[in-house]
Amino acid sequence: METLPPGDLLDGQSHAWVEWWAGRWTAFDPTNGIPVGERHVAVGRGREYGDVPPLKGVYAGPANTGQGVEVAITRLR
């Protein structure tokens, strides 16, 4: 992981990982094929996608309008 001075902005990614109980909580990121570590930031927990969807609501507008998601991380200290 690259080290940034506080206040610098870094582009990130948004995806889910899995956690399970096996005598202790164990987490794995299947998208990147790595254990969950300091590069992961939990913003919600749920039993399934419907418990914590990243976007939820109703869109009213033209059908041909696309949607996009951007993830930016700022180091605070």
Rounded to two decimals, what is the model's pTM? 0.56
pLDDT score of 33: 93
- Taking Cα atoms as reference points, which of 16, 28, 15, 6 lies closest to residue 73? 6
Which residues does 5 contact at the CB level (< 8 Å), separation at least 6? 75
Residues of the chain scoring pLDDT < 50: none
